[in-house]
Copies of this chain bind each other. A is one copy, B any other.
Amino acid sequence: MDDHLYAVIMAGGIGSRLWPRSRNHTPKQFLDLLGPQTMLQETVQRIEPLVPLSRLFVVVSQDHAQRVVEQVPGLPAENLLVEPCRRNTAPCIGLAATVLRRRDPAAVMAALPADHYIADGAGFCRAIEAAVQMAADDYLVTLGITPNQPHTGYGYIQRGVLLSQVGELAVFRVRRFTEKPDAATAQQFIDSGEYYWNAGIFVWRAQTILAEMARWAPALAEELQAVSEAWNTPRRAQVLAAAWSRAPKVSIDYAVMEKATQVAVLPVDIGWDDIGNWATLSRLLSKDERDNLVHGGGRTVLLDTAGTYVYTTGKRLVATAGVQDLVIIDTPTALLVCHKAEAQAVKEIVERLEADGLKEYL
């Protein structure tokens, strides 16, 4: 264990593609989507071999702070960083880095999304350890997921020259970040063998990322400086609220990673999935001989049904007949019936509900 390694779990997402289970009051990362543990709890457990709770931080928005307290018992109160409002990843990471630098000028932080699935936890930890070595040389290190299909929903990272070999793991300089490409471009990326998916898992020294923010995102850095100065004073909440009201809604990729020069990618093949929608979730789970999967506690009767994922709770019965490749998510206030091929469209349903002001279903 590296005593200067800190984990920062980013739990601010909303997961609208997993509606109607993922809701405003309980987004994706707080749900037991894959097993008895919530995504947040799995994320905490995954990094625990390297980072004890005393060095684990969770960044969350005001609305969901209580969920973290409930789901991560033993988390020190000072390690719960509450954002006054949601502001994408750059301010989130900036806040964590600011707090860490105050606590430990030599802090190395691993920034981890709270809502990802990783099959190979040991491989993940080995990758983080290798990344920590690179971070010591002031690299901004990002894990690059070895792609297995030309997915158009992810950002891609092109590798450059080999920087280092840490055991079996290679680390490359990053040549270029590309946001969600079209299908043809994605296929070219895959064929070239030089591209990785950007999973938003980063390792760097707190000092390094703050220095890069000062250079590439000076407005944000200025707000963070004010927050840092007020942190151990009675003015903390007030200054943080003011800073966040002004902070730009911008991703760390756009604000820093695409601009910085000292950026490294560490390719990994660790069974990563962001569980982007119901179809990808159901792919990860074991099914019966007809490729059906039933979750939740409710009763079901499936007749002549194949490839279908059913989630149902409580006393409601769900019966199906003659259907294929559907997702049926039955919650007390809303029901989703969706073809797996259209699982991405769930986000659009949520947008419609928002546009119509139907908050009770969000």
Contacts and interface: CB of A to CB of B under 8 A. Distances in A.
Interface stretch (A4-12, A244-252, A281-289, A323-331): A323-331
Contacts of A321: 336-339, 342-343, 345-346, 348-349
Contacts of A320: 336-338
A301 interface: yes
A341 B299 CA distance: 24
A334 to B, nearest CB: 4
Nearest to A339: B322
Contacts of A338: 319-323
A25 interface: no
A91 interface: no
Given A322-B339, A342-B304, A317 B358 contact: yes
A315 B333 CA distance: 7
A301 B350 CA distance: 10
A335 interface: yes
B317 A348 contact: no
Contacts of A333: 315-317
A82 B20 CA distance: 46
A348 B303 contact: yes
Nearest to A338: B321
A358 B318 CA distance: 13
A335 B318 contact: yes
Nearest to A19: B319
A254 interface: no
B322 A335 contact: no
Nearest to A324: B339
Contacts of A343: 321
Contacts of A299: 358, 361
A241 interface: no
Q: Which of A322, A345, A353 is most buried by chain B, counting CB atoms within 10 A of its CB? A: A322
Contacts of A319: 19-20, 334-338, 346, 349
A301 B334 CA distance: 11
Nearest to A317: B334
A78 to B, nearest CB: 41
A307 to B, nearest CB: 13
A235 interface: no
B353 A334 contact: no
A352 interface: yes
Interface string A19-57: 110000000000000000000000000000000000000
B346 A334 contact: no
A321 B360 CA distance: 20
A252 to B, nearest CB: 31
18 contacts: A20-B319, A299-B358, A301-B353, A303-B345, A317-B334, A317-B358, A319-B334, A319-B336, A319-B337, A319-B346, A321-B338, A321-B343, A322-B339, A323-B337, A323-B342, A326-B337, A328-B337, A330-B335
